[in-house]
Chains A and B, each alone.
Chain A
Amino acid sequence: MEISNQLKNQHLMWRAGFGPAAEQLNDLDKYSPAKYFKALAKASANEPVYINVASNNLISAFENLQDAGKRKNLDEMQRREINRMMQAAVKDLNLYWLKEMISTGAQLREKMAFFWHGHFATRERNIFHTQLLLQVFRKHGLGSFRNLLKEVSQSAAMINFLNNQQNRKGHPNENFAREVMELFTLGRGNYTETDIKEAARAFTGWTANGTGDFVFRNNFHDDGNKTVLGKSGRLTGDDILNIILENRQTSRFIVQKIYCFFVNDIVDDKLVNQLADKFYNSNYDIGNLMETIFTSDWFYSMKNIGARIKSPVELLAGIQRMIPMTLENDTPLLNLQKILGQQLLYPPNVAGWPGGKAWIDSSTLMMRLRIPQMFNDKDELNVAPKQDDDTMMGQKTDGTAAVPGKEVMPKKRYGAINAKINWAQYTISYDKVKRENLLDNIRNNLFQVNASNVEITVNKDVDASSREAFIKSATIQLMSTPEYQLC
């Protein structure tokens, strides 16, 4: 069967971005995927503008906190307030980034940042450290994996999250050394426990200061002889990262993860090995790897189209790209992320989100099917997300971190979402479509899989009172199906 350019380009937009946008609908069939990818890559080439959501108030309060003299003058209430503001700001950053995913033309860049933020999974309640790390993902996501790995390893967020602050000569903390090999580069089974112990010694002295700069503390560093993955010497943290990158397994591990995320979670070993060799030989050029994938014929084969279950963020962003909307209040978007199991900047653990079928259980599926109706103002979010105890991040309290003694989550109904959908922006793409072709046309725009049976249902339940009502109700209904969960 001949696969249309439209389906291929939609496939590209879902995988290399967050789905096709309303204004692209009439372009999708005009260009070859190769041309479409070129435009996508070009739009993502510029260095991203740093995202700062912290208010001037918070910035100056945080500066006071860094200054030992001024810190003494802060009482517990003031420290608590700073802490509260920082936590609120992390939520603002979540929503800001989600908006960026929806509205930016640099789809590929944000999609890569989204991937890396799940790969190098961290949680950090300090908004400034979180912003710095997010910028690393956005800036280096299509660059060199070598640079990305080093920037992430030396970021305050990662150093704090994996306890490298506590990793000192004579008192090693192996957390970072273990995860960098197990989860970030080599994968389980490709190193020994001794490698971890020795590597931990090499990372001693890697710390970060309050403002988030990397600081190497020589007096904490163990500069004795070490042997890691067969290489010996007075190894430093940099040496360990280089040794890891010299190992071809790192390329294999990263490429396989990228393949699972962007192509298909059923791995084609032969393809992945080829890509891994190429990635290694290119000195870990991520942009080059992504171009190879997104311009290959096999990427656009039927077995890869519609084969993935959208992650909650991909689903939420994808709906909003297709039917543009403004929300009176963003909080329901946070609650939806939580209920569906993927909060940006808040991965479940250092291993990130498992993805695939793990997104789906009875509660998350039924919620996914109801979301389009909620956006369309006809349904209420009457489901409560789980309480969040993780305000302390498991870190020692020094008095600056404190949790109020009252209920964290309101217990009752969450109300309507109050989205104002800008339907005109969407329905205009159907102006030239004949009435009898409308449903097919809408379905083709929304689905990446065949679903002739769904049409039977929609045809029966659709609001046919006017052309516009038909488009709206068919769109909402088609989005409320299992088929729409796939991309």
Chain B
Amino acid sequence: MLIKRKEFLQIGSLATASFMMPKFLKAFESNAFVPAGNKVVVVLQLSGGNDGLNTVIPVRNDIYYRSRPSLGIKMQQAATLTDEVALNPALSAFKTLYDEGNMAILNNVGYPNPDRSHFRSMDIWHSASKSNEYWNTGWVGRYLDAQCSGCDRPTQALEVDDVLSLALKGEQANAIAVKDPRRLYGTSNEKFFKDIMKNHKADHHDEEPIDYLYKTMSQTLSSADYIFKQSRLHPTGATYPNTDLGNGFKTIASLIFSEINTKVYYISLGSFDTHVGQEAQQTRLFTQMNEAVKAFTDDLKKNGRMQDVLLFTFSEFGRRVTQNASNGTDHGTANNMFLISGGLKQKGMLNAMPDLTDLNEGDLKYKVDFKDVYATILSKWLTADADKILSGHYNMLDFI
């Protein structure tokens, strides 16, 4: 088999470095290079509880307009998808994706005994626990555990942020949080850190806390190096909006076009906690999201990777059906998700819109467990053992 020159160089530098590495680093990764057609997931978290009813709007539902006399979005203003359904006016690019057959909408996603606290509900979405369980690991983190057992850099999952979320923390491995590959590379290249790493000799067992710390440090330095080099392999030439989200998606695109082994990217936008003056805040955030996702999907299409990437959105909960006294909405329950890819098997509206005549104390009832969505993606898109990662058996959906 011929080794491409670029790959050869990487193997070369890694092999040299491994002479100096402690023994727990020496296990060589078998799956370091990604074949073309590599399936990738991008998770876009809408933090703060996005109002789903003003995102996917039931434009023929009187109850919706009665419940939201000033917040309801009129049919003429919204971006029409079907006779009954329209999108928030700020989501024009999502309408295009929908019309092209690159998007599906899953309504009424939630979980039993919903919690209306941000942090608790976000924990539940991140860990994929039941609402009365407290888990310290996340669903992507446990996926990473399986992917990166004994590997030297946990780059199979990346969070585009400065701080790592619970979702990406595993039992054995933690993903890397990197907002700017160049900056991470700079920090990790400080001579002092390199020196203490180089001079460290692993003379304890791996279970000693000190070895765990050095192992994490070594993985970080090695990952920072790897991610930075990969980000410069085929940097996208496309123009992205100059927002945090835009820059984040630009980084993700450049990495997808490289030969990096990353399978899951995680990025967040917020805050959608619109108790007061919802319209202005949601519009501002949706405009950012719309521009960034448009640039990203255009870029994927241009580079022939739309089939390989599945982008989905979620929020820790939706919001109350009835608006409050401050032109906002309060914490609710079930919500919708966007599923975007060129490789969808089912497109458009995957299920019925929320039934506003059948509420639970003013909140939507969930119909689809979000863990079904995770299980489907883990199993069908990432070919991982969903039952093991989620510690339970969930329904497979048919959108991929």
Contacts and interface: CB of A to CB of B under 8 A. Distances in A.
A366 B210 contact: no
Interface centre among B177, B179, B210, B272 (most CB of A within 10 A): B210
A158 to B, nearest CB: 15
A386 B161 contact: yes
Given A363-B164, A392-B118, A449-B210, A403 B177 contact: no
Interface in B152-188: 161-166, 169, 174-177, 179, 183, 187-188
A297 to B, nearest CB: 22
A477 B164 contact: no
Contact of A389 (B217, B271, B281): B271
Contacts of A461: 191-192, 195
A475 to B, nearest CB: 14
Interface in B311-349: 324-326, 330-331
A394 B187 contact: no
Interface string B236-266: 0000000010000000000000000000000
A334 B272 CA distance: 23
A312 B36 CA distance: 42
Given A309-B209, A348-B123, A453 B201 contact: yes
B195 A457 contact: yes
A348 B119 contact: yes
A487 to B, nearest CB: 10
A391 B273 contact: yes
Contacts of B193: 369
A434 interface: no
Contacts of A402: 275-276, 326
Given A383-B163, A397-B324, A482-B210, A390 B118 contact: yes
A247 B154 CA distance: 45
A237 to B, nearest CB: 21
The 6 closest A-B pairs by CB, nearest first: A394-B117, A482-B213, A361-B174, A362-B220, A389-B48, A351-B134
Given A405-B276, A485-B213, 18 more contacts: A351-B134, A354-B136, A361-B169, A362-B174, A362-B216, A362-B219, A363-B162, A363-B164, A365-B217, A387-B270, A389-B270, A392-B118, A392-B273, A394-B121, A402-B326, A403-B271, A457-B196, A457-B199
B198 to A, nearest CB: 8
A339 B117 contact: no
A481 interface: yes
Given A349-B134, A387-B270, A460 B195 contact: yes
B385 to A, nearest CB: 23
Interface in A383-435: 383-397, 399, 401-405, 408, 411
A339 B123 contact: no
A308 B115 CA distance: 34
B65 interface: no
Contacts of A357: 209, 212
B162 A387 contact: no
Contacts of B164: 361-364
Contact of A408 (B174, B244, B271): B271
B275 A389 contact: no
A389 B273 contact: yes
A135 B283 CA distance: 44
Given A369-B193, A397-B275, A309 B213 contact: yes
A17 B136 CA distance: 26
Interface of A: 76, 123, 178, 306-309, 338-339, 348-351, 354, 357-358, 360-366, 369-370, 382-397, 399, 401-405, 408, 411, 449, 453-454, 456-457, 460-461, 477, 480-483, 485-486
Contacts of A483: 210
B120 interface: yes
Contacts of A460: 195
Nearest to B119: A390
Interface centre among A351, A384, A389, A461 (most CB of B within 10 A): A389
Given A389-B47, A405-B280, A360 B273 contact: no
B17 to A, nearest CB: 18
27 contacts: A309-B213, A348-B119, A348-B123, A360-B216, A362-B174, A362-B177, A362-B223, A363-B162, A364-B163, A364-B164, A366-B188, A386-B268, A389-B118, A394-B115, A394-B120, A394-B121, A397-B324, A397-B330, A399-B326, A401-B275, A402-B275, A405-B274, A405-B280, A453-B199, A453-B201, A461-B195, A480-B192
B233 to A, nearest CB: 21
Nearest to B280: A405
Nearest to A460: B195
A238 to B, nearest CB: 25
B110 interface: no
A350 to B, nearest CB: 7
Nearest to A352: B134
Nearest to A477: B192
Contacts of B271: 387-389, 403, 408
A361 B212 contact: no
B277 A405 contact: yes
B301 interface: no
Interface in B190-224: 191-193, 195-196, 199-201, 209-210, 212-214, 216-217, 219-220, 223
Nearest to A368: B213
A486 B163 contact: no
B229 interface: no
Contact of A482 (B192, B195, B217): B217
Nearest to A123: B119
Contacts of A454: 196, 199-200
Contact of B331 (A349, A382, A392): A392
A309 B164 CA distance: 18
B70 to A, nearest CB: 15
B161 A482 contact: no
Given A348-B119, A397-B330, A366 B276 contact: no
Contacts of A411: 244
Contacts of B273: 389, 391-392, 403
Contacts of B183: 382
B163 A390 contact: no
Contacts of B122: 389
B26 interface: no
Contacts of A366: 187-188, 217, 220
B49 interface: yes
B232 interface: no
Contacts of B272: 389
Given A357-B209, A449-B210, A486-B209, A350 B163 contact: no
Contacts of B175: 361
B216 A486 contact: no
A477 to B, nearest CB: 7
Nearest to A405: B277
A175 to B, nearest CB: 9
Interface string B67-105: 000000000000000000000000000000000000000
A385 B179 CA distance: 12
A453 B20 CA distance: 14
A401 B331 CA distance: 12
Given A403-B276, A461-B195, A389 B162 contact: no
Nearest to A161: B117
B116 interface: yes
Given A390-B117, A396-B330, A457-B199, A361 B177 contact: yes
B163 A386 contact: yes
B31 interface: no
A73 to B, nearest CB: 17
A307 B210 CA distance: 8
A391 B120 CA distance: 13
